[in-house]
C-alpha cells in the first residue's frame, strides 16, 4: 500500500517515457527521435508517443517540439530557456489567454521555477494564488478567467522590478 518509491513515482509508461526523454535533455539541449523506434523501445503504440509529447513537452512546460514525416522522419524536442527570453514569456501569456485551468497553470509556474526565473518561495506563492482551493468561485468559467488574470498579472510583474506598487 504505502510505497515510498522515491523520486520517480508512478507506474504508467507515459511517465517512464517522459523521464527517459528528460534524462537525455538533461545532458543535451535537444533530442531527436524516431517515433516508431521510441514506441517499440517501450512497447507502446506510436500514437502514445504523441500523447506523451502533448501532455509533457508543450510550451507550458518550456519545450518546443518540431517534427518531420516521410522517410527519415523524426520528432525533435528542444528545451527553451525561459530565463532571459522575453519572447517565450509572451508565448506563455499567450497560452494562458483569457482562461486557464489549475493543472495548466501549475505547469507554467513549474516551468518558471525549473528555469530559475522564480525562486521556490515565489513559485509557491504563485501556486497558492491560482490554486483551485483558494480561487474557488461559483462557476468554473469565471474561476478560470480570474485565474488567467491573476497568473498573467504575476508573470508580467516579474518583468518590471522597480519599487513596490499595487497597480
Partner DNA sequence: ATATTAATGGTCAGGAAAGGTCAAATGGCA
Partner DNA sequence: TGCCATTTGACCTTTCCTGACCATTAATAT
Residue of 46, 76, 81, 141 that binds its own copies (CB under 8 A): 76
CB of 86 to DNA, least distance (A): 26
And the C-alpha cell for 59? 510550451
Q: Does 88 bind its own copies (CB under 8 A)?
A: no
Residues 6+ away with beta carbon under 8 Å from 57: 18, 21, 63, 65, 77
- Do residues 57 and 21 make contact, with C-beta atoms less than 8 angstroms apart? yes
Enumerate residues 6+ apart whose C-beta is below 8 A from 99.
Answer: 141, 144, 145, 147, 148
DSSP reduced 3-state for 145: helix
Residue 156 interface partner, choices its own copies, DNA, none, CB cut-off 5-8 Å depending on type: its own copies
- Nearer Cβ to its own copies, position 46 or 128? 128
Q: Can residue 91 be called a binding residue for DNA (CB under 7 A)?
A: no
Grid cell of 154 as nine digits: 504575476
Residues 42-81 touching DNA, rule: CB under 7 A, are: 44-51, 55, 67-75
Q: How far is the CB of 133 from its own copies (least distance, A)?
A: 5
Residue 79 exposed, middle or buried by CB count within 10 Å (0-12, 13-18, 19+): buried
- Chain residues binding its own copies by CB under 8 A are 1-5, 9-12, 15, 24, 28, 30-34, 37-38, 41, 68, 70-72, 74, 76, 102, 106, 109-110, 113, 120-129, 131-138, 142, 146, 149-150, 152-154, 156-158, 160-161, 163-167
Amino acid at each position: 500500500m504505502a510505497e515510498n518509491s522515491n523520486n520517480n513515482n508512478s507506474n504508467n509508461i507515459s511517465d517512464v517515457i517522459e523521464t527517459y526523454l528528460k534524462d537525455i535533455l538533461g545532458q543535451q539541449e535537444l533530442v531527436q527521435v524516431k517515433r516508431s523506434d521510441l514506441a517499440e523501445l517501450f512497447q507502446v503504440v506510436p500514437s502514445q508517443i504523441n500523447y506523451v509529447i502533448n501532455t509533457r513537452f508543450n510550451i507550458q512546460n518550456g519545450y518546443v517540439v518540431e517534427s518531420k514525416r516521410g522517410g527519415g522522419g523524426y520528432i525533435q524536442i528542444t528545451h527553451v530557456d525561459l530565463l532571459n527570453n522575453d519572447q517565450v514569456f509572451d508565448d506563455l501569456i499567450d497560452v494562458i489567454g483569457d482562461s486557464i485551468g489549475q493543472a495548466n497553470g501549475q505547469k507554467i509556474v513549474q516551468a518558471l521555477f525549473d528555469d530559475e526565473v522564480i525562486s521556490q518561495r515565489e513559485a509557491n506563492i504563485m501556486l497558492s494564488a491560482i490554486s483551485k482551493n483558494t480561487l474557488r468561485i461559483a462557476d468554473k468559467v469565471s474561476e478560470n478567467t480570474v485565474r488567467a488574470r491573476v497568473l498573467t498579472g504575476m508573470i508580467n510583474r516579474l518583468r518590471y522590478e522597480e519599487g513596490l506598487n499595487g497597480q
